[in-house]
Structure 1
Amino acid sequence: MTETGRTDGAGSGPVIRTVLGDVPVATLGRLDYHEHLFQSSPLLPGDELDDERASLREAVTLHASGIDAMIDATPVGLGRDTAAVARIAATTGLAVVASTGMHRSAHYPADHPQRSLSADDKATLFVQELTLGMLADDADAQRFRDGGVPEGLPTATTPAGAPVRAGLVKTGIDYWAIDAVDRSTLEAAAEAHRVTGAPVMVHLEFCSAAHEVLDLLAAGGVPADRVVLAHADRDPDAGLHLSLAGRGAFLGYDGMGRSRTRSDAELLDLTLRVVQGGGTNRILLGNDVARRSRYLAYGGMPGLGYFGERYLPRLRALIGDAAVGTLLEANPALFLPWSH
C-alpha cells in the first residue's frame, strides 16, 4: 500500500491535518483533544448527536469558552457527518481534526458489515480517508469487504469544494479484552500510521490493557509517542499513568463533569500527582461530552462549555497557567503532526 494524495497545503514544516486543510502547528492554539459533533451508537440509545444546527451551537459554546481547536473522535460507521463537521469548522473558526478508524467492536451490531472487514481492507479505508477524502456516507465502508477497493466512492467536501480529510486514526478495545475485530482494527491503524505518519487514538475502558495496546501497536510500527490513550483518567492510578508516560504515550484526560462516576476533585488530584511526577508533557485534555443528554443545544447539560468555563479555571489554580498551557497547546503540537 502506498500513500497517495498527501499534500502540504500549509507550506514547509510540521502541519496538522484539519477538515479544512493542513495548518501549521503554531496556528493550532488550545486543543480539546476529544469531542463528538455527530455520533450514533446502539450502546447509547436516545443519545444520538444528529442535528447540525444543534451541534453548531454547541461548537460555538466550546469556542467561546477559550478553546481554539478540537478532535472530533467519531470514527467510521457511528453516525458521522463529515461534510457537516467541515461546515461547522468554517462557521465557528474552530480548527477540527476529524477521525477515521473504527471504535471497539461493541459499538457495531453482530451483523454490521464493518465487523467483517479484514485488517487490510480497514487499512485501505483508513489511508483513503487520511489522504484522499473521507466517505460522504459511512454506509459505503461495507464496500471494502472481500479484498475489493471500490472506485469512485463519493467523499465529503468542504464549503470551498476541497476534500474533507481525516487527521487521526481512532480505535478502541473493551475492558481487559482485545477481541479479533478490535485486534484487526489496531493492526489496520498501525498500517495506516506506517503509510501516512498519522497519530492514533485508542479508546480504553477504565485504562485497562493500556500497556498491552502499546505493545501491540509497537509491534506494528507505531511508537508510543504517536498514541493517545483515551479515558486514561478513568483509572486514577498516577503510578500506572507515569509508567505509560515513561514509554512516551500521551494520556487522555476527559472525565470531567461526571460526578456520578468520579468527581472533578479526583481528576484534579490525579492531574496534580502526574504533573508532580514528571508527566506534564504527556497529558492531553478533553471533555468527551458525546451525548445528546449532555449537550445544552440538545436540551441537556452541562454542555461543551463546561470544560473551559468551569474545569480549566480550577486546574489553573492547582497546577498553574504554564502547566495548563503545556497540556492544551504544547502537547497537542507534539502529538498531532504527522510524523512523515
Structure 2
Amino acid sequence: MRIRTVLNDLVPEALGVTDSHDHLFFRSAVLPGQELDDEAAAVAEVRAFADAGGQAIVQWTPHGLNRQASLLPGISTSTGVSIVAATGLHRREHYQDGYVDKVQDHLAEIFVRELTTGIGDTPVRAGLIKVAGGFHVLDGHAELVMRAAAEAHHATNAPIAIHHELGSAADAVLDLLVDELDVHPAAVILGHLNRFPDHRVHLELARRGAWLAFDGPSRANNATDPRLTDCLAALIDAGYAERLLLGGDTTTARARAATGEGPGMPYLLTHLRPRITRHFGADIADAVFRSNPARAFATDWRA
C-alpha cells in the first residue's frame, strides 16, 4: 500500500498529520476575483500549517481548475510538507463555458493518464479522483463524471473523493459508485458532510463503509460550523471514529490564514485539534489527523 504524493509514493505511516481536504491553487467561474493563484501565498500558507505541526495536505482541486501541478513539488520540497494532488472533474458551473463539453467524452482516459503518467506536461501524478454530486440528486453531469471516475478507479485503484453540494446526495453517490459500479466503499471519501448536519444521515452513511470527511470551519460553510463537534460526537459514540477525516477546504484567497482573513489551514491544528482532544481524547484526535488519512488515501496502485 502506498500514498501517491507529488514527489513520490509514500508508505502510509510516513504521511503524518494531515489536512485531508484543502486547496493550494483553485480557480472557479463562480468565485471571480478570489482565485488561489499566488505561489508565494501558497507557500506561506503551507509553512504556517507546518509550523502548527502539519505534515501533509491533500489538494482536492481537480482537472481544469488551476491545480498548478508544476509548482507543487517545489512547494512540498521547500516546506517539508507532503502534497497529494487530484484528478477528476467538478460541477459544470465551476468551468468556463464550453470547457466541459470539450473533455466529457474523454474523462476516464484523462483521469487514468493523470493518475499514472502525469498532470499536463509534468511528471506529477495525481493521488486521488475528485468528483461532485448535485443538490440532493445526481444530475446528468454528475453521473457522467462519476461513471468515468469509477472506470479510472478500477484501472488504478485510486480513491474517489466527492464534493457533496451543501452536503447532500451522499446516499445517491454510494448507490451509484458502490452498489451499481462496484467501487469498494473504503475507496470512497464523502466530503462536506458538515454542510448537512443530520446525525441520522451520517450514521447511515457510516454503516455503508465509506470515509466521512468534515471540511472546515471555512468561509464556505460557516453556517454549520457550530454543529461540527456534535456531528463528530454522534459518529464517535456510535463507534465510527476510524472513518472520520477533517480538512480546511480553503477555496478563496480571503480564507487563507497567512495572507488573508482566515481561518485557513493552520486552524485545523491550532484550534480544531485541541478542541477534539479536549472533547474526545488524544487517541481520537490522532486517528482523525494521522491514522485515518494514512488509510483513506493509501492504495495498492495498479500503475
> What's the TM-score bracket when you normalise by the shorter of the two chains?
over 0.9
- Structure 2 distance, partners of 1:259, 1:231, is 10
Does the alignment pair 1:115 with 2:101? yes
Shift of 1:70: 1.1
266, 272, 283: which is aligned to 1:311? Answer: 272
Secondary structure of residue in 1 paired with 2:189:
strand
Unaligned 5+ runs, structure 1: 1-13, 136-154, 157-162
| Counterpart for residue 47 of structure 1 | 34
Aligned to 1:149: none
1:215-268 residue CA offsets vs partner (Å, 9 max, x unmatched)? 111222211111111101111111111111111111111131459743544211
Normalised TM-score (structure 2) = 0.94
TM-score, structure 1 normalization:
0.84
Q: 1:23 to 1:259 in 2, by over 3 A?
A: closer
Calculate the aligned-residue CA RMSD, in Å.
1.6
Counterpart for residue 9 of structure 2: 22
Between 1:213-222 and 1:190-199, the stretch displaced more is: 213-222
How far apart, CA to CA, are the structure 2 residues paired with 1:46 and 1:134?
25
Q: Superposition pairs for residues 100-249 of structure 1, below 5 Å? A: 100-112=87-99, 114-119=100-105, 121-135=106-120, 155-156=121-122, 163-218=123-178, 219-249=180-210
- For 1:252-295, what per-residue CA distance to the aligned partner results, in whole angstroms no more than 9, with x for missing partners? 11131459743544211211121001111111111112210111
Preserved contact between residue 225 and residue 250 of structure 1 (Cα < 8 Å): yes
What amino acid does structure 2 have at the position aligned with 1:176? H
CA deviation after TM superposition for structure 1 residue 172, in Å: 0.4
Which structure 2 residue ranges, 5 or more long, are not aligned? none
Alpha-carbon distance change, 260 to 41 in structure 1, aligned in 2, over 3 angstroms? closer
- What is the CA–CA distance in structure 2 between the aligned matches of 1:339 and 1:206, rounded to whole Å? 32
Mapped to 1, the partners of 2:187 and 2:300 lie a distance apart of 8
Aligned to 1:69: 56
Aligned to 1:279: 240
2:5·2:125 contact (CA, 8 Å) conserved in 1?
Answer: yes
- Tell me which residue corresponds to 2:71: 84
Residue type matched to 2:131 in 1?
T
Q: How many residues align?
A: 300
- Match of 1:296, SS state, is coil
Q: 1:249 to 1:314 in 2, by over 3 A?
A: same
Match of 1:268 among 229, 238, 244: 229
The answer to whether 1:98 aligns with 2:58 is: no
| SS state at 2:167 partner | coil
Once residues 278 and 82 of structure 2 are traced to their aligned partners in structure 1, the CA distance between those partners, rounded to angstroms, is 27
Alignment-mate amino acid for residue 291 of structure 2:
A
- Larger Rg, first or second structure (1 or 2): 1
Identity fraction in percent = 38
Q: Is the 8 A contact 1:72 1:96 kept in 2?
A: yes
Question: Counterpart of 1:9?
Answer: none
CA distance 1:200–1:299, shift in 2 (3 Å): same
Misfit runs of 4+, over 4 Å: 257-260
